[in-house]
Chains A and B, each alone.
Chain A
Amino acid sequence: MDFLRPACWSEALEAKANHPDATPVAGGTDVMVELNFDHRRPETLLDLTRIEQLREWSRTERAGVASVRIGAGVPYSRLIDELGTSLPGLAMAARTVGSPQIRNRGTLGGNLASASPAGDGHPPLLASNAEIELESVRGSRTIPIEEFFTGVKRSAMASDELVAAVHVPVSTGPQQFSKIGTRNAMVIAVCTFAVALWPERSGVGTGLGSAAPTPRSAPEAEEFLAAALTEADQWDDPRPLPDSITERFGELVAQAAAPIDDVRGTAGYRTHALHVLARRTLSWAWDEYRGGTEFSGRQRCA
């Protein structure tokens, strides 16, 4: 086995181009389990932890939208400590990952590249319409997260590409994330749900995890809720949501799922649980919105 240790990003891209079969290793929390159990014997390991650039995040603007560009190698613990205010949904999801030791090592880039349907980073990124920046020696491209996941543990990343960064719009309204599992720590999700309200554009975002072969959003639920809120003038003058709305939102979220039976839960349980999670997270987010915190982009009369 070869162990490649590029010192900078361009070297890493060269290495990946020359060894398309090389397995990148960032936090190692997925890769090392496979190595330890002989489930994977790559010819080449490509260590990404020496590339400073991957461990940085910065504020950017994409098409006029204030965003954060998160380097693929930023660990969960730093997403929680440093980005909890700008990206609350992602930070909430990060808090549910593994344990402190896992959060200190595991990265968003690794979560994406593994492309597990149960990856906890994915639902909040979907709810925020994040974009994934991929790069190779051929150049850089940025694709919407919806197009990144192509199948169970499969992604749109080419064999010579690496995940460079994730671009996530800064929150403009409440965001929530909820995860079902047998305990608080160290749990692969039975299912997860993320919701984000975007008052400045009267929009709603959603993300479902462990609910289908790939992480996905629930576009019909998003459109239904956004339209219902607009119609009742709820964005500018938020009042309690009628049960009919939260109920329908839950139904549409559950309908967007295509879950399976596995050791962690049945498809029937997952569908039911998603319905409940969707209603519950929406009511938390709505309470927060009604709580009158000034969310940017929308001046509200008291």
Chain B
Amino acid sequence: MRLNLNVNGRAMTADDVWEGESLLYVLRERLGLPGSKNACEQGECGSCTVYLDRVPVCACLVAAGQAQDREVGTVEGLADEEELAPVQRAFVDEGAVQCGFCTPGLLVAADDLINRVPEPSDAEIREALAGNLCRCTGYEKIMAAVRTAAERNAGTGISGSTGGDRE
């Protein structure tokens, strides 16, 4: 089947998509966007985390056809032309990247957190990253990077809303 979707702000088309394949496969193998990583294909590791209509999800668990006409945001879309996004800058500055396999998914999950919660507590950071596994860093530097990114983001005054009980 043919698939039309918006990725990182650009309209894209993939052809000959098999109906049973995942959005992750489409991104990596058909659209030339290998940033999102494939490790477990069962939602356990988070290395494939992308935004789907602005909500972080595991791309390996989204059926390709479910992304038709939807907006997808991947790690490739976090930075603008010139500058790294605050989370990317902070991961570099704090040395939160070792082999780097987990990094793209963590960046998307962390980007979502700091844009939703202006001053996340450590507990909130841990909770937000609970779906992302890292085999290298021991997580301490990742925690430090997210704290730093959140502080810098708050400094810019462009953080998002916190949600809360909307009942």
Q: Which residues of A approach B to under 8 Å, CB–CB?
A: 1-3, 5, 25, 27-29, 31-33, 35-37, 41-42, 45, 47, 49, 77, 81-86, 98-102, 104-105, 184-186
Give the interface residue-count category, chain B. Answer: 20 to 34
A98 to B46, CA, bound (A): 11
Asked if B130 and A185 sit within 8 Å, CB to CB, the answer is yes
- Chain A: CB-nearest residue to B42: A33
The A-B contact count (CB < 8 A) is 103
B128 at the interface (CB under 8 A from A): yes
- Chain A: CB-nearest residue to B132: A99
Asked if A99 and B130 sit within 8 Å, CB to CB, the answer is yes
Asked if B49 and A101 sit within 8 Å, CB to CB, the answer is yes
What are 18 sample pairs from A and B whose C-beta atoms fall under 8 A apart?
A3-B1, A3-B65, A5-B65, A5-B68, A25-B63, A31-B63, A32-B22, A33-B42, A41-B20, A42-B20, A84-B165, A99-B46, A100-B56, A100-B127, A105-B57, A185-B130, A186-B130, A186-B131
B41 at the interface (CB under 8 A from A): yes
By a CB distance below 8 angstroms, the chain A residues around B18 are: 1
By a CB distance below 8 angstroms, the chain B residues around A98 are: 43, 131
A97 to B104, CA, bound (A): 23
Of the candidates A32, A47, A83, A102, the one whose C-beta lies within 8 Å of that of B131 is A102
Asked if A100 and B130 sit within 8 Å, CB to CB, the answer is yes
A101 to B166, CA, bound (A): 20
- Chain A: CB-nearest residue to B41: A36
- Chain B: CB-nearest residue to A99: B131
Of the candidates A5, A27, A49, A186, the one whose C-beta lies within 8 Å of that of B61 is A27
A82 to B127, CA, bound (A): 19
B62 at the interface (CB under 8 A from A): yes
Please indicate which of the listed interface residues A2, A33, A83 has the most CB atoms of chain B within 10 Å of its own CB: A33
Give A5 Cβ to nearest chain B Cβ, in Å: 6
Give B161 Cβ to nearest chain A Cβ, in Å: 12
B32 at the interface (CB under 8 A from A): no
Asked if B19 and A100 sit within 8 Å, CB to CB, the answer is no
Asked if B167 and A29 sit within 8 Å, CB to CB, the answer is no
A105 to B66, CA, bound (A): 12
Asked if B62 and A32 sit within 8 Å, CB to CB, the answer is yes
Please indicate which of the listed interface residues A28, A31, A82, A98 has the most CB atoms of chain B within 10 Å of its own CB: A28
